[in-house]
Amino acid sequence: SGELYCSLPNPRNVRFESINMRNVLHWSAPEGTGDGVLYKVKYTVYGVGKWIRKPECRNINRTWCDLSNETSDYEEQYYASVKAFLNGTCSDWMETTRFNPLTDTKIDPPMVSVSSTDKSISIILTAPEKWKRSPEEESISLLQVYPGIRYNLSVLNKKTKKRWFFSISNNSLVVPWLEPGTAYCVSAQIHVTTPLLDSGFSKEHCITTLKDK
């Protein structure tokens, strides 16, 4: 293209932010440039010869660009790059570090659903799904991406304030022999040993066991 000499300061902190393999490129505006800066984005599959422009992120004024579609094959690794334009001048292309969707994504906590009887609570956990292009597309659970997933579960007795931890590999657990008419709060975390990936703990789901019959 016609850019001869690029004297504009560079975009800063160009990086991928990824959650459940929704991979979004983010950056900060060049230092000292007010409004009016526009950006272009390109990406490349590591080891393959060409950079590919992202048309939907051409001449944009926002400082992010969703590249989930282009980086959805998690058996590959990627670089992305951003260039800034203002008043006929431009910056250099500024690159990310090498992005590995498998190890560089963050995982959401599992969904927790809890039901109770008078003396037990039943907990069902659902691992988050990998990002997908459209609702119609087939869902892929992160269980399929990370075979070694385990769940860490915390169960808090609100009356005694005692907290117990469970470590389970399947996605359901029944905790019997509880106190009737007592509130229990459950939260869960996903744990992958290699690559080492932990979700945060989910928010607490509280339920009260039924009163004694």
Partner 1 sequence: GACRVSMSMTEIRAGFTAIKANIQSRDPIRTLSILSHPHSLHKVKSSDRCCITHLLFTFYVDKVFKHCRTEDSFVNRKISSIANSFLSVRRKLGQCREQNNCVCGEESTEKFKQILANYEGLNVTSAAMKSLGELDILLDWMEKSR
Partner 2 sequence: EDALLPAPQNISILSINMKHFLTWSPVIVQGATVRYSVEFQGEYEREYANGSWIPILECSLTTATVCNITEDISATVAYKLRVRAELGATRSRWGKMKGFFNRVTTSLTPPLLRVLADGHHLLVELADMGPVFQFRLLYWKKGQESRVQQKVMREVSSVVHLDTMEAGAEYCVKAQTHIEAINRSSSFSPTQCVRAQGDTSMWL
Is 8 one of the binding residues for partner 2 (CB under 8 A)? no
CA 130/CA 143 separation, integer angstroms:
9
Is 5 one of the binding residues for partner 2 (CB under 8 A)? no
Closest approach, Cβ 154 to partner 2, in A, equals 9
Of 2-10, 120-128, 152-160, 190-198, the segment contacting partner 1 by CB under 8 A is 190-198
Of 28-36, 66-74, 83-91, 149-157, the segment contacting partner 2 by CB under 8 A is 149-157
Give residue 101's Cα distance to chain centre.
Answer: 10
Say which entry of partner 2, partner 1, none residue 175 contacts (CB below 5 to 8 A, set by partner kind).
partner 2
CA 11/CA 180 separation, integer angstroms:
59
Cα atoms in the 13 Å half-sphere on the side-chain side of 45: 11
CA 80/CA 98 separation, integer angstroms:
8
Q: Among 5, 50, 138, 165, which residue interacts with partner 2 (rule: CB under 8 A)? A: 165
Question: Given CA atoms 64, 51, 129, 143 in this order, what sign does their dihedral have?
Answer: negative
Is 143 one of the binding residues for partner 1 (CB under 8 A)? no
Of 31-39, 47-55, 106-114, 117-125, the segment contacting partner 1 by CB under 8 A is 47-55
Is 77 one of the binding residues for partner 1 (CB under 8 A)? yes
Closest approach, Cβ 117 to partner 1, in A, equals 39
CA 97/CA 83 separation, integer angstroms:
16
Quick check: 120 and 177 in contact, CB under 8 A? yes
Residues forming contacts to partner 1 in the complex (CB under 8 A) are 44, 46-50, 75-77, 79, 97-98, 100, 102-103, 147-148, 193-196
